[in-house]
Amino acid sequence: MFHNITPGTLVRHPSQEDWGIGQVQSVDGARITVNFENAGKHLINGDVVDLVTVREDELDG
């Protein structure tokens, strides 16, 4: 699930769209810390949540 997630990767939470885009801060096994633009920092269990990676060319602006 989270094999391509590394610090600095931009992601979205699949069931929390209102959180906005997040940047991965750290990865420790299945524990992924993400700082979301509208929801702050969250610890995500990569075994449970399949974060969606965001390419920089998908960003608005």
State pTM to two decimals: 0.89
Token pair of 60 as six digits: 């608005």
Does residue 11 contact residue 24 with C-beta atoms inside 8 Å?
A: yes
- 15 falls within a domain: yes
- 59 falls within a domain: no
Domain span at residue 42?
Answer: 10-54
- 32 falls within a domain: yes
Q: What pLDDT sits at residue 3? A: 63
- 4 falls within a domain: no
pLDDT tens digits along 1-60: 556 899 999 999 999 999 999 999 999 999 999 999 999 999 999 999 999 999 877 777
Whether the pLDDT of residue 61 is over 70: the answer is no
- 1 falls within a domain: no
State how many domains the chain has.
Answer: 1
The Cα-based distances of 60 to 10, 22, 51 in angstroms read 13, 14, 19
Kindly compute the dihedral angle of the four CA atoms of residues 47, 29, 12, 40, in this order, to the nearest 10 degrees.
120
What DSSP state is assigned to residue 51? P
C-alpha 16 chain-centroid distance: 11
Q: What pLDDT sits at residue 11? A: 97
